[in-house]
A and B are shown apart, each in its own frame.
Chain A
Amino acid sequence: GAVVSQHPSWVICKSGTSVKIECRSLDFQATTMFWYRQFPKQSLMLMATSNEGSKATYEQGVEKDKFLINHASLTLSTLTVTSAHPEDSSFYICSVPVGENIQYFGAGTRLSVL
Chain B
Amino acid sequence: QKEVEQDPGPLSVPEGAIVSLNCTYSNSAFQYFMWYRQYSRKGPELLMYTYSSGNKEDGRFTAQVDKSSKYISLFIRDSQPSDSATYLCAPSPPGRRALTFGSGTRLQVQP
Contact = CB atoms under 8 A, between A and B. Distances in A.
A101 B101 CA distance: 13
Interface residues of A, number: 25
A102 B34 contact: yes
A13 B64 CA distance: 44
A32 B96 contact: yes
A34 B98 contact: yes
Interface string B11-26: 0000000000000000
B42 A107 contact: yes
A28 B97 CA distance: 17
Interface of B is mostly: loop
Interface residues of B, number: 22
B111 interface: no
A33 B103 CA distance: 22
Given A34-B98, A44-B101, A46-B98, A93 B44 contact: yes
A105 B32 contact: no
A97 B44 contact: no
Contacts of B45: 1, 105
Contacts of A42: 103
Interface of A is mostly: strand
A93 B43 contact: yes
Interface string B40-71: 01111110010000000000000000000000
Q: Which of B41, B96, B101 has the most CB of A within 10 A?
A: B96
Q: List 5 tightest A-B contacts by C-beta distance, closest first.
A: A105-B43, A101-B32, A46-B98, A108-B43, A43-B101
Interface of A: 1, 4, 6, 32, 34, 36, 42-44, 46, 49, 91, 93, 95, 97, 100-108, 110
20 contacts: A42-B103, A43-B101, A44-B88, A46-B98, A49-B98, A91-B41, A95-B99, A100-B94, A100-B95, A101-B32, A101-B92, A101-B94, A102-B46, A103-B98, A103-B99, A105-B43, A105-B45, A106-B43, A107-B43, A108-B42
Given A36-B98, A44-B88, 13 more contacts: A42-B103, A46-B99, A95-B98, A100-B32, A101-B49, A101-B92, A102-B34, A104-B46, A105-B36, A105-B44, A106-B43, A107-B42, A110-B41
